[in-house]
Amino acid sequence: MCLQSSVHNLYKEICSFRNLEFAFKKARKGKRNKKSVQDFEFDLERNLLQLKHELETVTYKPRSLKQFVIRDPKTRLISASDFRDRVVYHALCNIIQPIFEKTFIYDSHANQIRKGSSKAIERFDVFKRKVTENGRLVNKPLDNNMVIGYVLKADIKHFFDTVDHQVLMMCIKRKIKDEKVIELIQKILDNHTTETGKGMPIGNLTSQFFANLYLNELDYFVKHELKAKFYIRYVDDFVLLDRSKEELERTKIQINKFLKTISLELHTEKSQIYPLRAGTKFLGFRIFYYHKLLTKRNIRKMEYRLTEFEKLSKEGKASRDDIQRSLVSWFGYAKQANTYKMRQPFLKIIKTF
């Protein structure tokens, strides 16, 4: 489980002007054209000093979340924080995230420097070969049907809606003993009010970090209690690979039992065991032994984004540079799969921006 050493006197570091200025730059990234960002930056020093004063006097209080629905193409309810609050959240994570990341397992890949979905996919490629020991039914396999091995593809049911604040605070207090930091975190959690004392808003920086921290409990259980060798987690999606389907079935039962001890459970329909030869849907790809494809949902998502970008460009709400940066990032992601022919029509559209 989490290591037991703790850190004191962090609050002063969080409140420092230098940290708040750095937090502002991170919060602004990719959002320079938004009015809320421009308004904050117009009188930057005064706004940062005001946040510093509120934090130092413990009078800071997050503003109400703004909720909206996005379709990408799946419909999701997103809760957006005020920009000044996002600056505070970056300031908090700047200081406490490195403390906790030291305890994270290597194959926790979400929201960390030098990690990410691409790295997780690379690790899947490594594991699918290790778990089979290049084990094939014939010396010169002709297709995926000759591949040995299985994968447990798992998803936690309604994860962000069911995170238990008490369990999360217990994990945080194992490492953080500064009461003012604890109070600040509690304010952030309480800003997403629920009658059950559970849940975190999708979209918040702190929610992403707290998700990793919360599920670090699962990571330690899988790696140190179950001794699983081939395990990868990205937020609440995770995979385990093994040569034995029966072993994965036992592992699935044990994981679900453990999750219930931290107020979570596996999504029954989305947590299944598949033969590696059938391909595994993971992080927007369908990964076969010898090749990868983008999922149809991922392609539809890109088509939707192109339509939205065209609309924003015409309305002057997004700059050419911002759109190009986002699209180049997606192309880098898509190139991990066998997508050359599929990317060409998209490339022609992108050149029109």
Confidence of residue 270 (pLDDT cuts 50, 70, 90): very high
> Is the predicted pLDDT of residue 172 greater than 80, yes or no?
yes
Q: CA 71, CA 94: separation in Å to the nearest integer? A: 31
pLDDT score recorded for residue 332: 76
> Residue 145 has what pLDDT?
57
Beta-bridge partner residues of 198: 164
Average pLDDT, stretch 118-140?
78
Q: What is the per-residue pLDDT for 4?
A: 42
Give the integer Cα–Cα distance in Å for 296 and 350.
20
Q: Using an 8 Å Cβ cutoff, are 175 and 209 in contact?
A: no
Q: What would the pLDDT profile of 34-75 be if each residue is shown by its tens digit?
A: 899 999 999 999 999 999 999 999 999 999 988 887 766 567
Chain segment 173-182, per-residue pLDDT in tens: 999 999 999 9
**pLDDT for 80:** 85
**Per-residue model confidence (pLDDT) at position 137:** 44
The reported pLDDT for the residue numbered 115 is: 92
HEC profile of the chain: CCCCCCECCCHHHHHCHHHHHHHHHHHHCCCCCCHHHHHHHHCHHHHHHHHHHHHHCCCCCCCCCEEEEEECCCEEEEEECCHHHHHHHHHHHHHHHHHHHCCCCCCECCCCCCCCHHHHHHHHHHHHHHHHCCCECCCCCCCHHHECCEEEEEEECCHHHHCEHHHHHHHHHHHECCHHHHHHHHHHHHCCCCCCCECCCCCCHHHHHHHHHHHHHHHHHHHHHCCCCCEEEECCEEEEEECCHHHHHHHHHHHHHHHHHCCCCECCCCCEEEEHHHCEEECCEEECCCCEEECHHHHHHHHHHHHHHHHHHHHCCCCHHHHHHHHHHHHHHHCCCCCHHHHHHHHHHHCCC
Q: Which of 250, 259, 244, 280 is nearest to 153 (CA)?
A: 280
Nearest to 117 by CA among 276, 346, 348, 283: 283
This prediction's pTM = 0.86
pLDDT in tens, 328-340: 777 777 888 887 7
Question: According to the model, what pLDDT value does residue 3 have?
Answer: 37
Distance CA 35, CA 54 (A): 23
CB 293 within 8 A of CB 342: no
Q: What is the mean pLDDT of residues 15-37?
A: 93
pLDDT: is 151 or 315 the higher one?
151
Summarised one tens digit per residue, pLDDT across range 218-251 is: 999 999 999 999 999 999 999 999 999 999 999 9
Higher pLDDT, 314 or 188: 188
Q: What is the distance between the alpha carbons of residues 346 and 327, in angstroms, rounded to a whole number? A: 10
Tell me the percentage of the chain whose pLDDT exceeds 90.
Answer: 61
- Residue showing tokens 């906790």: 100
Compute the average pLDDT of residues 95-107. 95
